[in-house]
Amino acid sequence: MKKIAVITSGGDAPGMNACIRAVVITAWQHDVEVIGFRHGFRGIVDDLNQPLHPDDMRLVSQRGGTFLKSSRYPEFREVARAKDAAKVLDAHDISALLVIGGDGSFQGADHLAKYWKGQVIGIPGTIDNDLAGTDTTIGFSTAVDTAMEAIDRVRETAEAMARVFLIEVMGRHAGFIGLHAAIASSAEAMLLPELEPQPKLAEMADAILQARSAFPDSSYVVVVSENLWPGGVSGLATNLSKATGVTCHPCPLGHIQRGGRPNAQDRILAMQLGHAAVHAVIDGKSQIMIGLEQEHVVEVPLHLTFERDKPLDPRLVQLQLGLQGVNFASKKGSKTA
């Protein structure tokens, strides 16, 4: 009987459990045994193995996080760690490793492939959606839903008190969560790493003051991607408060965005990709990522997923920027921004 292994690696993402379920059940249907290693690559090196049986997969898809556990493990960049992992995988007679994770995890998988003869397949699982070669990643849709719900809640108190809020969302160095959350929550402004040129503090202050003068009794919400400003959203709030004379409230959403029950879209995506990954193993494929492009499952060379940048959809960027511009011009009776 062929034997394969699966890990979840890097930042967990809602839908990872559904993906493991699809991998385990599909594999068993094809007489392939599956074991997991807990805590990602660290768990391979330390041999934290866990047998995975379809009977145990019945009700895992509903849960956020990853029951297989995950970790950040920068030590895996070392050649010695990759060779250690190869030895453990060989000792278990594993012929293929499925890695559910983001770009750091795929770099780890690519590194391992240099020192291990087995097949290596990536499945995109990260809330950041920053992997090239796939329209979306497992967990992104749920994270956007979570951010939107949180911003809606902040909006209600902001509106009641006519306050300015700067809400920080995750994304490491990518603005996908920021852009989608800004559109979905009708934010007055957004700050994303991809926006060129970045708006200057004086421009942001000016926009806030114009909005306050047009709508003195209303809220003003800015969605800000993390890692953009020194001191994060708190630093920005301090500077903007000084520049405008209006108190700007910082609100970092943080890890709230990573947890929670995966939504239907993420569960379905996770199962599609997990199922296809097992078929890719059976077909003898290696060093690829299984992704989704225009609603079709695709196979992409693994290295291209992290070597290329993934741009934001320019139509969505323009949509949000256009809607932001109309907000206070309309108050003055003009239909144009």
Residues in contact with ligand F6P by CB under 6 A are 10-11, 72, 126-128, 170-172, 226, 258
Smallest distance from ligand F6P to CB 176, Å: 10
Q: What count of other Cβ atoms lies within 10 Å of the Cβ of residue 175?
A: 27
- Note the helical H segments in the chain: 16-29, 40-45, 79-91, 103-113, 140-161, 176-184, 201-214, 232-244, 264-282, 302-307, 314-329
Would you say 188 or 194 has its CB closer to ligand F6P? Answer: 194
Cα 254 from Cα 147, distance rounded (Å): 10
Q: Are strands 220-225 and 288-293 parallel, antiparallel or unpaired?
A: unpaired
Smallest distance from ligand F6P to CB 97, Å: 20
Q: What count of other Cβ atoms lies within 10 Å of the Cβ of residue 133?
A: 22
Smallest distance from ligand F6P to CB 13, Å: 7
Q: Identify whether the C-beta of residue 280 lies closer than 8 Å to the C-beta of residue 299.
A: yes
Catalytic residue status for 128: yes
Cα 180 from Cα 129, distance rounded (Å): 11
Q: Is 82 helix (H, G, I), strand (E, B) or coil?
A: helix
* Catalytic site residue from 12, 84, 110, 128: 128
Cα 9 from Cα 66, distance rounded (Å): 9
Would you say 145 or 226 has its CB closer to ligand F6P? Answer: 226
Cα 147 from Cα 180, distance rounded (Å): 9
Q: What count of other Cβ atoms lies within 10 Å of the Cβ of residue 311?
A: 11
Nearest to 177 by CA among 256, 63, 272: 256
Would you say 73 or 165 has its CB closer to ligand F6P? Answer: 73
Would you say 245 or 259 has its CB closer to ligand F6P? Answer: 259
Would you say 171 or 250 has its CB closer to ligand F6P? Answer: 171
Cα 128 from Cα 112, distance rounded (Å): 23
Would you say 241 or 257 has its CB closer to ligand F6P? Answer: 257
Q: Identify whether the C-beta of residue 44 lies closer than 8 Å to the C-beta of residue 7.
A: yes
Smallest distance from ligand F6P to CB 127, Å: 5
Cα 232 from Cα 235, distance rounded (Å): 5
Query: Catalytic amino acids?
Result: 128
